[in-house]
Structure 1
Amino acid sequence: MLAAMIHSFILSFGLILPLGVQNIFVFNQGAIQPRFSKALPAIFTAAICDTLLISMSILGVSVMVFEYTPIKLALYSGGIFFLIFMGFVTWKSKSKQADSVTDVKLSAKKQITFALSVSLLNPHALLDTAGVIGTSSMHYDGASKLAFGFTSILVSWLWFNGLGIAGRLTGKMDPSGNFLNLLNKASALVMWTTAIYLCILLFKQI
């Protein structure tokens, strides 16, 4: 069981670490919200989505879903259009002091909506979860498989809370918002790059 937990921790951490749309969104909300508690909708939604995806992967549901080409094509198309749109919104965003009203300081409802979108409309992330987490979990059964899944989910919850805290600390150290403005530009570029990559994958599916 311990071996399964260590395996899951290393694997999950390696998957969640790279800079991506979901990570950037959670970090940004932590940085621009006036209090850490205000960023919890984004943090919790991202963590819950990961919990759902990991659970589906371990149960083998996501692998079966991705076997249907129409579903894959719909996910790729939706993800591409969403990332392009979000990229323009993020590029135009202006971050000022944390107490100011900014374009990207979202309400709880909008945080949940955007977090759901960046978590569930990224086919590349879904395929990674299904292909890597799901496939790796097949090496275990019983209590070991349960421990593998629990550890992977725990990593996600700790990671997103840590990102929110890191964003909050960054926001305090950057009252002018200059760093966050640069981060918004970098975020937009990451989104557009991801959209281009998804376009390439989509054409391969057609």
Structure 2
Amino acid sequence: MLEAILHGFILALGLILPLGVQNVFVFNQGATQSQFSRALPVIITASICDTLLISLAVLGVSMVVLEYEWLKTALLSSGICFLLYMGFVTWRSKPMMDQQDDKGSFSAKRQIVFAMSVSLLNPHAILDTVGVIGTSSLTYLGVEKIAFAVSCILVSWVWFGGLGIVGRMSGKLDKSGRFLFILNRISAIVMWGTAGFIGFKLI
């Protein structure tokens, strides 16, 4: 049991640590919102999406779905379109440093939609979850498999929550708005770079 928990923890942490679209977006929203509570929609949505993907991967459902080549192509194509669009929106966004003004922040509805997009329409996240977590879960059965899955899921919830908190702290320290301006540019470049890489793989 302990081995399954530790395996899930280390594996999930290793997959979630690298700079990616999901991480950048959650951090960005934590930094740009006037209060931490206003960033909860993106944190909770990203965590729920990861929970769904991990659960499907462990159950083996997602592996069966991705066996269809046309579906995989459609997924990759949709991911490219969303990443290009979100990169454009992020590049153009201007952080508002007045803590009393939320005009420069994403609304709760917009946070949820974008978080779902970068989580469920990000082929890298899906393929990593299916290929790594899904495959690794095959070595466990019964209670151990559940413990493995729960450990992976908890890592996502704690990580995104912590990312939002660090983002909020950075936003408070950045009175000039320069850091958030640069962060938006980096976020957009990461999204466009990911879209380009996916497009290259489709060719």
Same fold (TM over 0.5): yes
AA of the residue aligned to 2:12:
S
The correspondence of residues 25-174 of structure 1 with structure 2, limited to 5 A, is: 25-99=25-99, 100-103=101-104, 105-174=105-174
Q: How big is the shift at 1:123?
A: 0.9
**1:94 Cα deviation from its structure 2 partner:** 1.2
Structure 1 vs Structure 2 CA RMSD: 0.9
Matched, 1:11 2:11: yes
Using the size of structure 2 for normalisation, the TM-score is 0.97
Give the TM-score normalised by the residue count of structure 1. Answer: 0.96
Once the two structures are aligned, what percentage of the paired residues are identical? 62
Please, which runs of 5 or more residues in structure 1 have no aligned partner? none
How far residue 102 of structure 1 moved from its aligned partner, in angstroms, is: 4.4
Structure 2 residue ranges without an equivalent (≥5): none
SS in 1 for 2:118: helix
Query: Structure 1: how far apart are the matches of 2:119 and 2:28?
Result: 15
Shift of residue 101, structure 1, vs aligned partner: 3.8
**What is the aligned partner in structure 2 of residue 191 from structure 1?**
191
For residue 168 of structure 2, what is the amino acid of its counterpart?
Answer: R
Partner of 1:24: 24
Instruction: Provide the secondary structure at the position in 2 that maps to 1:96.
Output: coil
Distance 1:43 1:21 in 2: 14
Q: Does 91-100 or 66-75 show the bigger shift?
A: 91-100
Superposed CA offset, 1:145-172 (max 9, x none): 1100000000000000000000000000
Question: Matches of 1:78 and 1:47 in 2, distance apart?
Answer: 21
SS in 1 for 2:139: coil
Deviation at 1:201, TM superposition (A): 1.8
Deviations 1:21-61 (A, max 9, x none): 11111111111111111100000000000000000000001
Distance 2:167 2:124 in 1: 25
Aligned residues: 202
Equivalent residue number for residue 181 of structure 2: 181
User: What is the deviation of 1:113?
Assistant: 0.6
